Amino acid sequence: MTKQFTVAIIGGGIGGLTLAAGLLKRNIPVTIYEAAPLFQEVGLGLSIGPAAHRALPLIEPALRRIYDSLITTHADSPGFERFRETWCEVVTPDDQVLMELKARPSGQTTVRRADFLDALVALIPPERAEFGKRLVRLVEGDEGVRLEFEDGTTAHADVVIGCDGIRSTVKRFVLSEEEHARATPRYSGMYGYRTVLDMPDMVAAVGEHRARVTTLYLGKGVYGVSYPIARAQQANVGLYVLRKEWEGEEWVRPAGKEDLRRDFAHLGGFVQGLVDHMPDSQQWAIFEHPSISTYARSRVAILGDAAHASTPHMGAGAGQAIEDAHVLVELLGDPRVMRARDVVAAFKAYDAVRRPRSQRVVTSSKEQADLLCLCLDGVGADEDKLRGAFEERLRWLWDGDVVGEVERDPVMLGFSSRQDERLELARTLGATHTVTTAAVADRGQSLADVVREVTGVWAPR
């Protein structure tokens, strides 16, 4: 049955298109408003962890097929099949392998952002997108939400979801004026250099093994990462520097080889090889999103970087947008959500479920930078503590159950109207802040049912 409300999605990046594909699959009328003249992505490679990988087919089965058809894995390099389930190897400043991190069953998977976006576009009927539509204002009234664009045109929708990035306009509507003033993107204390090397150049820089296997290069106050992309024909390289201050208003500034050499002179041969082979580059200031009090207001919500832009140090930014989309499509697709007024409660549930986990990713990702730069309190350069910290910090992210994982206190999950029974079930299932798929399935509940019980905000019609 077709829903009795329309959805406007602001922003046609990977988050917006993923959400649109899931909503269209559930017969929800959608229009995407994109500021650019065409769909486009900023950035090079994209990697998602196992939890987000599991979420893709739950949003729309074609999403997983598309992603898997484009991915690069370690097994794409002949002779490296044994690294199929490897996320990365971690290398010390003197080029010794500290550990190998596994991410079963998928391992490290990467795609070129542009390739993934182009494939997603095929899932969206052309009439569902409008281009050159830069949003400047939202006005909510009794008849829905009016969208006002920079070109002077307007549009109307019953529901609006902002997928418009870290400088989101939709966020301005969701938050109070005072909170929005405090929620502007902030410099995270780190900048980076990024490039793509053809695989022969990568092999010349670091050797065959290091070029073919995703690697984290630890260093005092700095770190690096490299991983194969484009079916192992190229490698994505990022080198990052802790620096408290960032001068100027621009987020990107020119940099030369002398800057790279100065920043990474104290690291070993692998990183020196990368520096030698990297072209003159740019320094990219890395910004993050301060925690905000809500991801939704009335019939307007925000998703992905608009809600919780994170630093890249856990490789989780795109995955969190996918997890956002999963929860939203499950809730809006529920047969009990038929009218625009039902969406208000669904958005409250979305906020209650997604905000704790996604904000934890933002915090943890910033701490991950300190871990990689050998300056995390209580860990430093102690190799045993480093091994334990890597395992502990990544497992909760990777092993999170995209159907049942809920981080909420005090009641994690409940299917009884009696509060004492709900609390007892919470103590049983919520001790680790994880509810398994099996626990959900045993009770015959969908994710939407779980969310309603968890949040206690579902409004009966």
Cα-atom radius of gyration of the chain, to the nearest Å?
22
Order of strands, edge to edge, in the sheet holding 135-141? Answer: 135-141, 144-149, 154-157
Beta strands in 72-150 (DSSP E): 86-91, 97-102, 110-112, 129-131, 135-141, 144-149
Selecting among 54, 112, 172, 194, the annotated active-site residue is 194
Give the DSSP letter string of 243-288.
-S---SS-SEEEE-HHHHHHHHTTS-HHHHHHHHHSPSEEEEEEEE
443 tagged catalytic: no
3-state class (DSSP) for residue 225: strand
Total number of residues shown for the chain: 461
Cα 389 from Cα 282, distance rounded (Å): 31
* Cross-strand partners of 138: 147
Residue with structure tokens 């159907």?
403
Give me the residue label for tokens 């087919």: 57
Structure tokens at 327: 């929860």
| Eight-class DSSP state of 17 | H
In the sheet that holds 30-34, the strands lie side by side as 129-131, 30-34, 7-10, 159-162, 300-302, 296-297
Element spanning 242, H or E: strand 234-242
215 Cβ contact partners less than 8 Å away, ≥ 6 residues apart? 88, 89, 90, 91, 206, 224, 225, 226, 227, 270
> Between the CA of residue 156 and those of 16, 33, 212, 237, what are the distances in Å?
18, 12, 50, 43
The position carrying tokens 């996604």 is 358
Q: How far apart (Å, rounded) are the C-alpha atoms in residues 4 and 190?
A: 46
Q: How far, in Å, are 129, 275, 310, 387, 405 from residue 286 at the CA level?
A: 30, 20, 9, 26, 29
DSSP 310-324: --STTS-HHHHHHHH
Alpha carbon 332 to its chain centroid, in Å, reads 21
Instruction: Give the residue numbers marked as catalytic.
Output: 194
